[in-house]
């Protein structure tokens, strides 16, 4: 399916208010679409907000230990330095730099899917799984909402909430993403408002609990927006929080420094329930790579980023969230 087919297919389902699932890759080259009714037949399991198509996840109380082999710091630093040079030249303000990390484990993809706890989960036909904490967009009565997430801290640190909220570098990066998402929502809706600014939420992982900083941004959609749902989704992509700003120039730089395509990682997936959209950014992502598995992760690079800190953050994000 190419983007043109995706748009017309989504618009048709939107117009007839037929529930469907969508999965779109970062490069916008292999979008996927199927009705909710057909998802199981295509070996797709999901939980998106309150809606899912499988029975309760398996309980698991022990930690899941992963044997991980990230890229070397030396290799990471080469890419990082190129990004910082581009920031100094004014070509980007914020760029999300990501790399794959090989993981070795006794578990299979399906088991990871069932063990993990997250508001947004997807098992995509033995190719990859996602357990994403980050909403991309959702709609409710002709309003569209986005929840960019920028800023993470170990919740166990003393005074963690104050530390992250008062950290200037985190604040500047968050500001940038808020302005970028306001812009993106204005492509498809009007009267853009930041309805919540820098609120905290907690994430439970197998290693530690994290505090994440998010904002809520709202725009007003035209009535009967469901009939153009395909265009609406595509205009918003790739998601600002995992690309950067200014988006177009930043995407060119990502291509140069990451060198491989991201594929479904850092794309989006979601559901149209017949009336509304709920969707997630495809992060916290494990995919099959030949005989092995790889986890993909990264973080936002700005003028104030420290390379070792960013490298460690990329590795810290290689986790499976269990209760």
Partner 1 sequence: MKTKKIALLDNNDSFTYNIVDYLRRLETIDLRVFKTNKLSIADLKRFDSIIISPGPGLPKDFPVLFSVLEKYHDSKPVLGICLGHQAIGAFYGAKCRPVFPVIHGQAHAVKITKSSRLFDSVPKTFKAGLYHSWAIDRDTVSEELEITAVSESKVIMAVASKKYAVFGIQFHPESYLTENGFTILKNFAEM
The verdict on 93 binding partner 1 (CB under 8 A) reads yes
Smallest distance from partner 1 to CB 21, Å: 28
- The footprint of partner 1 on this chain (CB under 8 A) covers a number of residues equal to 36
Smallest distance from partner 1 to CB 216, Å: 12
The verdict on 303 binding partner 1 (CB under 8 A) reads yes
Which of the residues 171 through 190 are near partner 1 (CB under 8 A)? 171-176, 178-180, 182-184, 186-187, 190
Residue 133, sorted as left (phi over 0), alpha (psi -120 to 50) or beta, turns out to be alpha
Which stretch, 11-19, 45-53, 107-115, 242-250, contacts partner 1 (CB under 8 A)?
242-250
Helix orientation angle between 247-258 and 73-88, rounded to the nearest 10 degrees: 150
How far out from the chain centre does Cα 322 lie? Answer: 19
Q: What share of the chain is helix, strand, coil (3-state, %, to 5)?
A: 30, 35, 35
CA atoms within 13 A on the CB side of 187: 14
Smallest distance from partner 1 to CB 131, Å: 29
Could you tell me the two tokens for 126?
């033995």
The verdict on 207 binding partner 1 (CB under 8 A) reads no
Smallest distance from partner 1 to CB 141, Å: 20
Burial of 248 (0-12, 13-18, 19+ CB in 10 A): exposed
Please, which residue, 187 or 308, has the CB nearer to partner 1? 187
Helix orientation angle between 307-316 and 73-88, rounded to the nearest 10 degrees: 120
Which stretch, 34-42, 83-91, 100-108, 315-323, contacts partner 1 (CB under 8 A)?
83-91
The verdict on 302 binding partner 1 (CB under 8 A) reads yes
The verdict on 82 binding partner 1 (CB under 8 A) reads no
């Amino acid at each position: 399916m190419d983007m043109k087919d995706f748009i017309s297919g989504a618009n048709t389902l939107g117009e007839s208010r037929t529930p469907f699932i969508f999965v779109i890759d970062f490069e916008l080259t292999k979008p996927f679409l199927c009705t909710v009714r057909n998802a199981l037949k295509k070996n797709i399991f999901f939980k998106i907000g309150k809606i899912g198509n499988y029975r309760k996840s398996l309980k698991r109380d022990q930690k899941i230990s992963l044997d991980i082999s990230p890229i070397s710091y030396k290799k990471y630093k080469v890419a990082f330095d190129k990004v910082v040079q581009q920031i100094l030249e004014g070509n980007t303000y914020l760029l999300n730099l990501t790399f794959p990390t090989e993981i070795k484990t006794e578990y299979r993809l399906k088991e990871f899917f069932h063990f993990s706890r997250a508001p947004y989960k997807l098992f995509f036909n033995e190719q990859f799984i996602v357990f994403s904490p980050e909403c991309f967009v959702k709609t409710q009565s002709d309003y569209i909402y986005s929840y960019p997430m920028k800023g993470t801290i170990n919740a166990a640190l003393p005074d963690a909430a104050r530390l992250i909220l008062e950290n200037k570098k985190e604040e500047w990066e968050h500001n940038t993403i808020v302005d970028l998402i306001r812009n993106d929502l204005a492509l498809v809706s009007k009267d853009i408002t930041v309805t919540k600014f820098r609120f905290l939420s907690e994430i439970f992982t197998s290693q530690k609990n994290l505090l994440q900083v998010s904002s809520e941004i709202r725009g007003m959609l035209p009535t009967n927006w469901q009939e153009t749902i395909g265009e609406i989704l595509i205009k918003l992509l790739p998601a600002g929080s995992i690309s950067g700003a200014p988006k177009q120039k930043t995407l060119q730089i990502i291509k140069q420094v990451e060198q491989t395509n991201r594929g479904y990682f850092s794309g989006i997936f979601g559901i149209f329930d017949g009336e509304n959209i709920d969707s997630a950014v495809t992060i916290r992502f494990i995919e099959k790579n030949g005989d092995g598995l790889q986890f993909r992760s990264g973080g936002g690079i700005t003028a104030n980023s420290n390379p070792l800190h960013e490298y460690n953050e990329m590795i810290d994000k290689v986790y499976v969230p269990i209760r």
